[in-house]
Amino acid sequence: MTAKKHPSLSLSSCTEFAVSRPSGAASISTPSKFHFCQHMQIAFCGAWLAIALTGCGSSYSSNKTSPPGASAPALWVANGANVLEFNLTVNSQLSPPVYSPTLVLNSSAFGNVQGVVFDASGNLWVVDGGNLNTHGGNISGPALYQFTSANLATLQSPATGTPNITIASSAFRFPQQAAFDSKGDLWVSDSGANAIVEFLPAQLMASGSAVTPSLTLQSNPAFNSGYGRSTASTLGIAFDAAGDLWVANNGNSKLYEFNAASLAAASGSVTLPPAVVLSDDGKQSIAWPWGLAFDSTGNLWVSNAGYFGLLDNLIAPVNTVVEFPKASLTAIGSPTPAVILTSTTVNGNPSLNFPEGMTFDSSGGVAVANSASPFGVSLYGSTQLMTGGAIAPFTLIGSATAFKSPAGVTFGPLITYGSAGTYGGTMY
């Protein structure tokens, strides 16, 4: 695992990156409505243009290839030093397509950006694991940063923003991913603390280090790193349709589910037994899992990354994305995936390379962040997810993307420098 993934490793400060674009207002794509997907992250309505199985992969054709998400939503990426936004319709007719960020959000507050998620009002929340010095102490972060939609709308190129809210809770050790539940509570996975923390909407309005989470959840059996200090414990989190919380426990290659009723009855610091524990089927079905996401029918998708020994090379690359059917999620066991996406070569690069965060859009396509060099994001259309195998996704990769360390992804409003989209429709 790369050094940015765990608080026990030394991290140098990240270099800020900005692209040069004309300042002032620009054209805006305004979604007609938006809603929460099954996995409780914001995604916009308006169908993705499905990837055709021809015209994709290593050969692109300007009259055949359209990227997933091309109709309206923007892809937002937690990129270590900053946050990147991509308008997936830009330059899609080039052959091969070349993508530069529509907006690059830098901030002097950022240390090690790991996750991004939008709330129901269109405000961006950034999960920052913090930068560590050579002695393991934090020199910035860890924290949650909120940028309001109004704040984002005023950004000019180069974009350097100041968070509207900073929650540098003393409970944080190395937060990495986050998800909103149906009540608007924000849940954050903290691999450094081996815990999941919950913040109520009122707490999300309070800045400072004195913000104590409403709930700090630990598990019995414990969240743990299992295979050595350079693996992590709690990483991807997602809510199913019943409000049950699912957690990817990376180090011991298990998935834990905590039912909504037990979470609703808990407060303060608690240790709960998971209602369901899913384990590897012996064929790397769950192997150092990182990202979790539910599709619209309640099937659970998992990105399996790989295992790095402390300061060693990769020992066991996995590089798959798997689907567990809804019916297999109700009992403890080692289910067999219904679909397995494996890595293939797209324009000379692996399509899955240490896959981490993942997110669905409303039409059933998925974006997966690849955190190993060459960094990129793979975009699979819903048709591809039905068949699995070594299918070539549409890939965002290369120097033009400005990827340095992509970890978390979500879909959100399309914002250009000096302008932002408007919002309407059903929230939650």
* Residue indicated by tokens 């180090």: 251
* pLDDT at residue 305, as a whole number: 87
pLDDT at 92: 58
Give the pLDDT confidence score for residue 36 in this predicted structure: 27
Q: What is the pLDDT of residue 358?
A: 96
Per the listing, tokens 């192997």 go with: 287
pLDDT at residue 97, rounded to an integer: 66
Burial 380-396, CB ≥16 within 10 A → b, else e = bbbebbeebeebbbbbb
Beta-bridge mates of residue 106: 160
Which pLDDT does position 18 carry in this prediction?
A: 27
What is the distance between the alpha carbons of residues 147 and 130, in angstroms, rounded to a whole number?
18
Q: What is the pLDDT of residue 337?
A: 97
**Alpha carbon distances (Å) from 145 to 61, 108, 136, 195, 208:** 40, 12, 22, 19, 11
CB neighbours of residue 242 within 10 Å: 10
CA gap 253, 280 in Å, rounded: 7
Identify the segments of the chain with pLDDT beneath 70. 1-72, 90-98, 132-139, 225-232, 307-316, 420-428
Distances (CA, A) of 4 to 11, 45, 112, 366, 410: 7, 33, 7, 24, 20
**Integer Cα distance of 144 and 165 in angstroms:** 8
pLDDT given at position 91: 58
Give the pLDDT score at 46: 29
Q: Could you report the per-residue pLDDT of 386-395, keeping only the tens digit for each? A: 989 999 999 9
Distances (CA, A) of 8 to 127, 135, 192: 18, 9, 8
